[in-house]
Amino acid sequence: MCTFKDQQNVLVCDVAIGQVRASLTAAFGEAIQYTPMEGQGTLVQAPPSVAGEPFLALTRAAIDQAQQCQERKATGQESAAAEITHSEA
């Protein structure tokens, strides 16, 4: 689960951090700070020089994209498992 703390700080789950990092780096370069939080994910922090609304919008979009990717993977794995079970019957 990802937690939006305020307009400059988001705690991002491990599943989404790769997509978030790629999107934010493309938009803001090296301005964004990433701090791993043991057992919680990664705290993603935008400095005051980065506008909050674009930061949040890009972060939300990246998280949504990562979640959709995970759902597709889970569905694909379930389908493959169902095919194996069906072919064994």
What percentage of the chain carries pLDDT values higher than 90? Answer: 74
pLDDT at 56 over 90: yes
Mean pLDDT of 79-88: 43
Judged against a pLDDT cut of 80, whether residue 54 lies above it is answered with yes
Contacts of 75 (CB under 8 A, 6+ apart): none
pLDDT attached to residue 37: 95
The pLDDT, as a whole number, for residue 83 is: 46
Degrees, nearest 5: CA angle 23-15-80: 115
Query: What pLDDT is attached to residue 77?
Result: 58
